[in-house]
Amino acid sequence: MKTATASAQQNTDYELSAVPANQRKSFFSLTIVWTGFVFVITSMMAGGGLAAGLNFKDIILATFLGNLFLSAIAILVSVIACKTGLTFALITRYSFGAKGTRLASLFVPIVNLGWYTIQSATYGHFIAQIFDFGPVAEGITMMLSALVMGVFALIGINAITILGYIAIPSIIFLSLATAIKSVGVAGAFSVITEFIPSDPMSIAGGTTVVIGTWILSTATCIADIMRYAKNMKQAALSAIVGLVGGNSLLVICGAIASIAVGNSDLTGVLLTLGLVVPSIILMTTNIFTTNASNIYSTSLNLSNAFHMDRKILISVILVLSALLTLTKPYQIDSLFTFLNVLGVIVPPLAGIILSDFYIVHRGHYAPLDEAALRDWTISPWVTWALSYGIVVLLERMSFGLSSLNGIIAAIVLYPILVKIFKEKQD
Ligand SMILES: O=c1cc[nH]c(=O)[nH]1
């Protein structure tokens, strides 16, 4: 009895089992949660960074290509989540094995901790700029930001949905208003369209940056949301709305604001425009919704890795993140380094998950409690390492797009290695 109660406590958000059909959510509420996740200031900052290297036409092209790529991955992962009802962490059991999954599902929390910390620090830094805080008060504000943002994730998916309903209209309105106001400051829209970047970047490089903005979550965390979808069409459409609609909007608004004001530090840009109160609302809504979903997914993955109550795990992560904000990861250079690393490391993982479901298992997994899973498998790990090597090699040869290279390499290599190691699981 005690054990049953403990395990029920650990499974309040279906972190250890499939979401049943009668608990699936409407298309509208899924789209709110996913779009609230995707709407984030770091996409605007990436747009600002693109403006240092691309002209406006190429920024639009890179944004479009990047989000198209992201949508394709997001749809394929969402379909797996919707069909199985499982979190990303539980999906990895089929490829990484019943014990291997515990190691594999540590990857998402580590990277999410990076995102969570960058975004909490950006928010704390922004508040510190507004109130003209010194370094100590800025440090305290950044730490408090990291602690407070996790509260919604502690409550669960319903709290995140309510937060999204409040946040999304204001984010759409305020990001457009920021772009329009900055065009006003520049004098004419032709200043944006005729702008010549100072430090040219290739379109492939720009596309990789855009892909980097959401590759982690489109390959992983999106499953934690779309497992609640009633059908695959709704899951796919919801994924596209968030990326092609939401992410593109913020990247482009960030680029326009940055070109107009000549500064890629978005928090600085917003303050230069004199939009103090609107910018506080913009920053608060978009960072809170994203970080709540971030830490929610992190806790689901950690539950799978450690088999402990996700609320205890969230608390530990929040304290860790609060301490890490003191390294000041809000600087644009840290963000770009992080994006580039993600654009290379995450796609092979997405390739493994997709290849396992669509190629090795031909689009069907046995229910989790009936599947005969090995404890450990070697093929996904070898695929990941080899794909990473291939990406780095091709990057040195300036061949193609790193994210695409990584995902294709893993999709092709994985089934071959599964055959070689005789590791197909039923
Ligand atoms: O929190 C975030 C922000 C951007 N992209 C992500 O994958 N996560």
Buried residues in 255-278 as b, exposed as e (16+ CB within 10 A):
bbbbbbbebbbbbebbebbebeeb
Residue closest to 343 by CA, chosen among 35, 36, 70: 70
Q: Which residue would you say has higher pLDDT here, 300 or 146?
A: 146
Centroid of ligand 1 to alpha carbon of 7 (angstroms):
30
Residue closest to 69 by CA, chosen among 173, 190, 206: 206
Centroid of ligand 1 to alpha carbon of 113 (angstroms):
10
Question: Quick one: which atom of ligand 1 is closest to the CA of 215?
Answer: 7
CA distance 154 to 100: 27
Total domains in the chain come to 1
Residue 134 within a domain = yes
Sign of the Cα pseudo-torsion (174, 178, 180, 185, in order): positive
Long-range contact pairs involving 140-143 (C-beta distance under 8 Å, separation at least 24): 142/322, 142/325, 142/326, 142/328, 143/322, 143/323, 143/325, 143/326
Cα radius of gyration rounded to whole Å, the chain: 21
Q: Which residue has a Cα nearest atom 6 of ligand 1?
A: 214
CB-defined site of ligand 1, < 6 Å: 40, 42, 115, 119, 213-214, 216-217, 290, 294
Question: Quick one: which atom of ligand 1 is closest to the CA of 43?
Answer: 4
Q: Are 77 and 87 in contact (CB under 8 A)?
A: no
CA distance 62 to 67: 8
Residue 177 within a domain = yes
CA 144 to chain centre: 22
Give residues with Cβ within 8 angstroms of 3, minimum separation 6: none
Q: What is the DSSP string of 50-92?
A: HTTTS-HHHHHHHHHHHHHHHHHHHHHHHHHHHHH---HHHHH
Centroid of ligand 1 to alpha carbon of 173 (angstroms):
21
Neighbouring-strand partners of residue 229? 25
Question: Quick one: which atom of ligand 1 is closest to the CA of 291?
Answer: 1
Residue 377 within a domain = no
DSSP-based three-state secondary structure for 373: coil
Centroid of ligand 1 to alpha carbon of 190 (angstroms):
32
Q: Which residue has a Cα nearest atom 3 of ligand 1?
A: 115
Domain that holds residue 305: 22-337
Give residues with Cβ within 8 angstroms of 358, minimum separation 6: 76
Residue 375 within a domain = no
DSSP assignment, residue 359? Answer: I
CB atoms within 10 A of CB 420: 11
Residue closest to 299 by CA, chosen among 112, 83, 36, 31: 112
Record the pTM. Answer: 0.88
Q: What is the pLDDT of residues 230-286, one digit of tens each?
A: 999 999 999 999 999 999 999 999 999 889 987 766 667 777 778 788 888 888 888
Q: Are 303 and 165 in contact (CB under 8 A)?
A: no
Q: What is the pLDDT of residues 75-103, one digit of tens each?
A: 999 999 999 999 999 999 999 999 999 99
Query: Could you tell which of 152, 160, 217 is best to mutate to test the pocket of ligand 1, judged by most ligand atoms within 8 Å of the CB?
Result: 217
Residue 142 within a domain = yes
Residue 318 within a domain = yes
Centroid of ligand 1 to alpha carbon of 216 (angstroms):
7
Question: Quick one: which atom of ligand 1 is closest to the CA of 342?
Answer: 7
Query: Could you tell which of 41, 42, 145, 221 is best to mutate to test the pocket of ligand 1, judged by most ligand atoms within 8 Å of the CB?
Result: 42
CA distance 311 to 313: 5
Residue at 22: amino acid letter:
N
CATH of the domain at 130: 1.10.4160.10
The predicted structure's pLDDT at residue 54: 96
Give residues with Cβ within 8 angstroms of 423, minimum separation 6: 374, 377, 378, 379, 417
Centroid of ligand 1 to alpha carbon of 287 (angstroms):
10
Residue 348 within a domain = no
Q: Which residue has a Cα nearest atom 1 of ligand 1?
A: 115
Q: Are 150 and 362 in contact (CB under 8 A)?
A: no
Q: What is the pLDDT of residues 167-212, one digit of tens each?
A: 888 888 888 888 888 888 888 999 999 999 988 999 988 998 899 8
Residue closest to 338 by CA, chosen among 215, 223, 242, 252: 215
Centroid of ligand 1 to alpha carbon of 370 (angstroms):
34
Q: Which residue has a Cα nearest atom 2 of ligand 1?
A: 115
CA distance 261 to 185: 7
Question: Quick one: which atom of ligand 1 is closest to the CA of 216?
Answer: 7
- As separate numbers, helices (DSSP H) first and strands (DSSP E) second, the chain gives 21, 0
Query: Could you tell which of 33, 37, 209 is best to mutate to test the pocket of ligand 1, judged by most ligand atoms within 8 Å of the CB?
Result: 37
CA distance 95 to 97: 6
Q: What is the pLDDT of residues 311-354, one digit of tens each?
A: 888 888 999 999 999 999 888 777 778 877 887 888 899 999 99
Question: Quick one: which atom of ligand 1 is closest to the CA of 217?
Answer: 7
Centroid of ligand 1 to alpha carbon of 214 (angstroms):
5
Centroid of ligand 1 to alpha carbon of 143 (angstroms):
19
Instruction: Tell me the ipTM for this assembly.
Output: 0.95
Q: Are 126 and 272 in contact (CB under 8 A)?
A: no
Residue 426 within a domain = no
Q: What is the pLDDT of residues 1-54, one digit of tens each?
A: 334 444 444 556 888 899 999 999 999 999 998 998 898 888 988 999 899 899
